[in-house]
Protein backbone atom coordinates (compact mmCIF):
# COMPACT_ATOMS: atom_id res chain seq x y z
CA UNK A 1 0.00 0.00 0.00
CA UNK A 2 1.44 3.35 -1.04
CA UNK A 3 2.23 5.85 1.67
CA UNK A 4 0.14 9.02 1.80
CA UNK A 5 2.88 11.37 0.60
CA UNK A 6 4.75 8.94 -1.64
CA UNK A 7 6.38 10.84 -4.49
CA UNK A 8 5.90 14.26 -2.88
CA UNK A 9 8.70 16.69 -2.01
CA UNK A 10 8.43 18.86 1.09
CA UNK A 11 10.47 21.89 2.08
CA UNK A 12 10.13 22.90 5.73
CA UNK A 13 11.76 26.04 7.09
CA UNK A 14 12.98 26.10 10.68
CA UNK A 15 12.98 22.31 10.76
CA UNK A 16 16.16 21.39 12.65
CA UNK A 17 14.22 21.24 15.94
CA UNK A 18 10.79 21.61 17.53
CA UNK A 19 7.64 21.83 15.44
CA UNK A 20 9.46 21.88 12.11
CA UNK A 21 11.42 18.74 12.87
CA UNK A 22 8.29 16.92 14.05
CA UNK A 23 6.57 17.80 10.75
CA UNK A 24 9.62 16.70 8.77
CA UNK A 25 9.69 13.33 10.52
CA UNK A 26 5.96 12.81 10.00
CA UNK A 27 6.16 13.65 6.30
CA UNK A 28 9.17 11.37 5.84
CA UNK A 29 7.32 8.52 7.52
CA UNK A 30 4.56 8.95 4.95
CA UNK A 31 6.91 8.73 2.00
CA UNK A 32 7.84 12.36 1.26
CA UNK A 33 11.35 13.46 0.41
CA UNK A 34 12.10 16.30 2.79
CA UNK A 35 14.55 19.20 2.71
CA UNK A 36 15.39 20.63 6.12
CA UNK A 37 16.35 24.20 6.94
CA UNK A 38 17.35 26.01 10.09
CA UNK A 39 20.07 27.05 12.47
CA UNK A 40 21.54 25.23 15.45
CA UNK A 41 24.59 23.41 16.69
CA UNK A 42 26.25 21.33 13.95
CA UNK A 43 25.74 18.14 15.94
CA UNK A 44 22.02 18.87 16.37
CA UNK A 45 21.59 19.57 12.67
CA UNK A 46 23.44 16.34 11.85
CA UNK A 47 21.16 14.42 14.23
CA UNK A 48 18.04 15.94 12.63
CA UNK A 49 19.28 15.08 9.14
CA UNK A 50 20.03 11.52 10.23
CA UNK A 51 16.64 11.04 11.90
CA UNK A 52 14.67 12.37 8.92
CA UNK A 53 16.92 10.47 6.52
CA UNK A 54 16.26 7.24 8.41
CA UNK A 55 12.51 7.89 8.20
CA UNK A 56 12.91 8.34 4.44
CA UNK A 57 14.67 5.00 4.17
CA UNK A 58 18.33 5.78 4.80
CA UNK A 59 21.05 8.38 4.33
CA UNK A 60 20.94 12.02 5.36
CA UNK A 61 18.04 14.32 4.62
CA UNK A 62 18.94 17.26 2.34
CA UNK A 63 19.56 20.48 4.25
CA UNK A 64 19.71 24.18 3.41
CA UNK A 65 21.37 26.67 5.78
CA UNK A 66 19.44 29.58 4.22
CA UNK A 67 18.85 32.55 6.51
CA UNK A 68 15.13 33.37 6.51
CA UNK A 69 15.93 37.06 6.97
CA UNK A 70 17.63 37.14 3.56
CA UNK A 71 15.34 36.93 0.50
CA UNK A 72 18.11 35.90 -1.89
CA UNK A 73 18.94 32.90 0.31
CA UNK A 74 15.28 31.93 0.48
CA UNK A 75 15.01 31.96 -3.31
CA UNK A 76 18.21 29.90 -3.57
CA UNK A 77 16.86 27.37 -1.05
CA UNK A 78 13.68 26.83 -3.07
CA UNK A 79 15.71 26.54 -6.28
CA UNK A 80 18.00 23.97 -4.63
CA UNK A 81 15.00 21.93 -3.50
CA UNK A 82 13.53 21.95 -6.98
CA UNK A 83 16.86 21.09 -8.61
CA UNK A 84 18.03 18.42 -6.13
CA UNK A 85 14.71 16.77 -5.26
CA UNK A 86 12.72 17.41 -8.40
CA UNK A 87 10.23 19.89 -7.04
CA UNK A 88 8.64 21.49 -4.01
CA UNK A 89 5.15 20.06 -3.70
CA UNK A 90 4.65 20.99 -0.04
CA UNK A 91 6.01 24.18 1.48
CA UNK A 92 5.80 24.59 5.25
CA UNK A 93 6.75 28.07 6.44
CA UNK A 94 7.66 27.39 10.04
CA UNK A 95 10.74 29.47 10.89
CA UNK A 96 10.13 31.97 13.66
CA UNK A 97 11.72 34.04 16.40
CA UNK A 98 10.39 35.92 19.43
CA UNK A 99 11.26 38.93 21.57
CA UNK A 100 9.25 40.37 24.47
CA UNK A 101 9.26 44.02 25.51
CA UNK A 102 6.93 46.95 26.18
CA UNK A 103 6.25 48.70 22.88
CA UNK A 104 7.94 51.96 23.89
CA UNK A 105 11.13 50.04 24.70
CA UNK A 106 10.95 47.56 21.82
CA UNK A 107 14.30 47.63 19.97
CA UNK A 108 13.98 48.60 16.32
CA UNK A 109 16.31 45.83 15.22
CA UNK A 110 14.22 43.20 17.03
CA UNK A 111 11.05 44.48 15.37
CA UNK A 112 12.71 44.29 11.95
CA UNK A 113 14.10 40.81 12.65
CA UNK A 114 10.79 39.34 13.82
CA UNK A 115 8.80 40.80 10.93
CA UNK A 116 11.42 39.59 8.44
CA UNK A 117 11.66 36.02 9.71
CA UNK A 118 8.08 35.40 10.90
CA UNK A 119 6.23 37.11 8.03
CA UNK A 120 8.31 38.39 5.12
CA UNK A 121 10.16 35.07 4.71
CA UNK A 122 6.82 33.34 4.10
CA UNK A 123 6.09 35.72 1.23
CA UNK A 124 9.44 35.12 -0.44
CA UNK A 125 9.24 31.33 -0.06
CA UNK A 126 5.69 31.21 -1.44
CA UNK A 127 6.58 33.50 -4.34
CA UNK A 128 9.53 31.26 -5.27
CA UNK A 129 7.73 27.91 -4.88
CA UNK A 130 4.29 28.71 -6.30
CA UNK A 131 5.02 28.82 -10.07
CA UNK A 132 6.16 25.19 -10.14
CA UNK A 133 3.19 24.10 -8.01
CA UNK A 134 0.77 25.81 -10.40
CA UNK A 135 2.51 24.30 -13.41
CA UNK A 136 2.13 20.86 -11.84
CA UNK A 137 -1.50 21.46 -10.87
CA UNK A 138 -0.93 20.44 -7.24
CA UNK A 139 0.63 22.00 -4.18
CA UNK A 140 0.23 22.55 -0.47
CA UNK A 141 1.38 25.71 1.31
CA UNK A 142 1.15 25.53 5.09
CA UNK A 143 2.05 28.55 7.20
CA UNK A 144 2.73 27.94 10.87
CA UNK A 145 1.10 30.96 12.47
CA UNK A 146 0.06 31.08 16.13
CA UNK A 147 -2.83 31.70 18.46
CA UNK A 148 -1.27 35.16 18.43
CA UNK A 149 -2.32 35.41 14.79
CA UNK A 150 -5.90 35.53 16.06
CA UNK A 151 -5.62 37.28 19.44
CA UNK A 152 -3.04 39.52 21.06
CA UNK A 153 -0.96 39.52 24.22
CA UNK A 154 0.92 42.44 25.72
CA UNK A 155 4.65 42.92 25.16
CA UNK A 156 4.68 40.88 21.94
CA UNK A 157 3.86 43.60 19.42
CA UNK A 158 6.17 42.40 16.65
CA UNK A 159 5.26 38.73 17.02
CA UNK A 160 1.52 39.44 17.15
CA UNK A 161 1.75 41.80 14.17
CA UNK A 162 3.74 39.26 12.16
CA UNK A 163 1.42 36.35 12.92
CA UNK A 164 -1.68 38.40 12.11
CA UNK A 165 0.08 39.22 8.85
CA UNK A 166 0.71 35.54 8.17
CA UNK A 167 -3.03 34.88 8.34
CA UNK A 168 -3.76 37.72 5.95
CA UNK A 169 -1.10 36.42 3.56
CA UNK A 170 -2.58 32.93 3.83
CA UNK A 171 -6.07 34.10 2.92
CA UNK A 172 -4.93 36.23 0.00
CA UNK A 173 -2.77 33.48 -1.51
CA UNK A 174 -5.60 30.98 -1.02
CA UNK A 175 -7.93 33.11 -3.12
CA UNK A 176 -5.34 33.47 -5.87
CA UNK A 177 -4.70 29.71 -6.13
CA UNK A 178 -8.28 28.52 -5.60
CA UNK A 179 -8.62 27.06 -9.12
CA UNK A 180 -5.08 25.76 -9.56
CA UNK A 181 -4.93 22.60 -7.44
CA UNK A 182 -2.85 24.42 -4.85
CA UNK A 183 -4.07 25.24 -1.34
CA UNK A 184 -2.74 27.65 1.26
CA UNK A 185 -3.64 27.24 4.93
CA UNK A 186 -2.30 28.16 8.35
CA UNK A 187 -1.94 26.30 11.63
CA UNK A 188 -2.29 28.33 14.82
CA UNK A 189 -0.65 26.55 17.75
CA UNK A 190 -1.04 27.56 21.37
CA UNK A 191 1.85 27.04 23.76
CA UNK A 192 3.81 24.09 22.40
CA UNK A 193 6.20 21.96 24.41
CA UNK A 194 9.63 22.85 23.05
CA UNK A 195 12.95 23.27 24.88
CA UNK A 196 12.71 27.06 24.56
CA UNK A 197 9.18 27.13 25.97
CA UNK A 198 9.96 24.73 28.81
CA UNK A 199 12.93 26.89 29.78
CA UNK A 200 10.48 29.66 30.73
CA UNK A 201 8.90 27.63 33.54
CA UNK A 202 11.67 27.78 36.15
CA UNK A 203 12.18 31.58 35.93
CA UNK A 204 8.41 32.05 36.32
CA UNK A 205 8.38 29.80 39.39
CA UNK A 206 11.18 31.84 40.92
CA UNK A 207 9.55 35.14 40.01
CA UNK A 208 6.20 34.27 41.63
CA UNK A 209 7.53 32.04 44.42
CA UNK A 210 5.51 29.00 43.40
CA UNK A 211 6.20 25.44 42.27
CA UNK A 212 7.18 24.82 38.67
CA UNK A 213 3.89 22.96 38.14
CA UNK A 214 1.90 25.96 39.38
CA UNK A 215 4.05 28.34 37.35
CA UNK A 216 3.22 26.28 34.26
CA UNK A 217 -0.54 26.05 34.77
CA UNK A 218 -1.23 29.44 36.36
CA UNK A 219 1.20 31.67 34.53
CA UNK A 220 2.69 30.26 31.32
CA UNK A 221 -0.45 28.35 30.31
CA UNK A 222 -2.81 30.84 31.92
CA UNK A 223 -4.85 31.34 28.73
CA UNK A 224 -4.76 27.69 27.57
CA UNK A 225 -7.88 26.07 29.09
CA UNK A 226 -6.49 22.53 29.09
CA UNK A 227 -3.52 23.70 31.20
CA UNK A 228 -1.46 21.27 29.14
CA UNK A 229 1.25 21.77 26.56
CA UNK A 230 0.38 21.28 22.93
CA UNK A 231 2.76 18.55 21.76
CA UNK A 232 4.82 18.94 18.59
CA UNK A 233 3.37 15.67 17.31
CA UNK A 234 -0.11 17.21 17.41
CA UNK A 235 1.02 20.06 15.16
CA UNK A 236 2.67 17.52 12.87
CA UNK A 237 -0.60 15.59 12.54
CA UNK A 238 -2.44 18.77 11.59
CA UNK A 239 0.24 19.52 8.98
CA UNK A 240 0.00 15.94 7.76
CA UNK A 241 -3.74 16.26 7.17
CA UNK A 242 -3.40 19.58 5.35
CA UNK A 243 -0.74 18.06 3.09
CA UNK A 244 -2.72 14.93 2.36
CA UNK A 245 -5.07 13.91 -0.43
CA UNK A 246 -8.34 14.68 1.38
CA UNK A 247 -7.70 18.33 2.18
CA UNK A 248 -8.16 19.89 -1.25
CA UNK A 249 -11.28 21.82 -0.23
CA UNK A 250 -9.62 23.33 2.84
CA UNK A 251 -8.19 26.61 1.60
CA UNK A 252 -7.49 29.89 3.36
CA UNK A 253 -8.24 28.41 6.77
CA UNK A 254 -6.59 28.99 10.14
CA UNK A 255 -6.59 25.71 12.07
CA UNK A 256 -6.29 26.29 15.81
CA UNK A 257 -4.41 23.67 17.84
CA UNK A 258 -4.40 25.51 21.13
CA UNK A 259 -6.21 23.61 23.87
CA UNK A 260 -9.25 25.86 23.54
CA UNK A 261 -7.43 29.22 23.86
CA UNK A 262 -9.32 30.92 21.02
CA UNK A 263 -12.67 29.50 22.15
CA UNK A 264 -12.73 31.91 25.11
Question: Span 138-157, mean pLDDT?
Answer: 97
What positions carry a catalytic annotation? Answer: 159
| Torsion, CA 146, CA 151, CA 155, CA 158, rounded to 10 | 60
> Mean pLDDT over residues 144-159, rounded?
97
pLDDT at 195 over 90: no
Which of the four pLDDT bands, split at 50, 70 and 90, describes residue 2? confident
pTM as predicted: 0.97
Q: Kindly indicate the confidence band of residue 226, based on its pLDDT and cuts at 50, 70 and 90.
A: very high
Look at residue 1 and tell me whether its pLDDT is greater than 80. no
The CATH code belonging to domain 9-192+231-257 is: 3.40.50.720
- Which of 103-112, 134-143, 194-203 comes out lowest in average pLDDT? 194-203
Q: pLDDT tens, 167-183?
A: 999 999 999 999 999 99
pLDDT value for 199: 87
The domain limits of the chain are 9-192+231-257, 195-229
Given CA atoms 62, 54, 122, 111 in this order, what sign does their dihedral have?
negative
Count CB atoms within 10 A of the CB of residue 80. Answer: 18
pLDDT in tens, 35-58: 999 999 999 999 999 999 999 999
**Beta strands in 62-146, from DSSP E residues, in sequence order:** 63-64, 90-93, 139-144
% of the chain with per-residue pLDDT over 90: 96
Distances (CA, A) of 156 to 76, 99, 149, 199: 31, 7, 11, 18
pLDDT tens profile 3-46: 999 999 999 999 999 999 999 999 999 999 999 999 999 999 99
Q: What is the mean predicted confidence (pLDDT) over 86-107? A: 96
- How far apart CA 243 and CA 27 sit, in angstroms, is 9
Cα 194 from Cα 234, distance rounded (Å): 13
Amino acid sequence: MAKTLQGRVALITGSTSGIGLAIALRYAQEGARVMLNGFGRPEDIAAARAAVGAAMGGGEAPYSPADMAKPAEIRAMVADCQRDLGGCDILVDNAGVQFVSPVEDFPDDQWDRIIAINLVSNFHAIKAALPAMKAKGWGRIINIASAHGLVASPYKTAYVAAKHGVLGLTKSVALEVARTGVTCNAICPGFVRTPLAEAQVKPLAEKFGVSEEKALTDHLLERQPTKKWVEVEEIAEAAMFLAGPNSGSINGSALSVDGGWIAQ
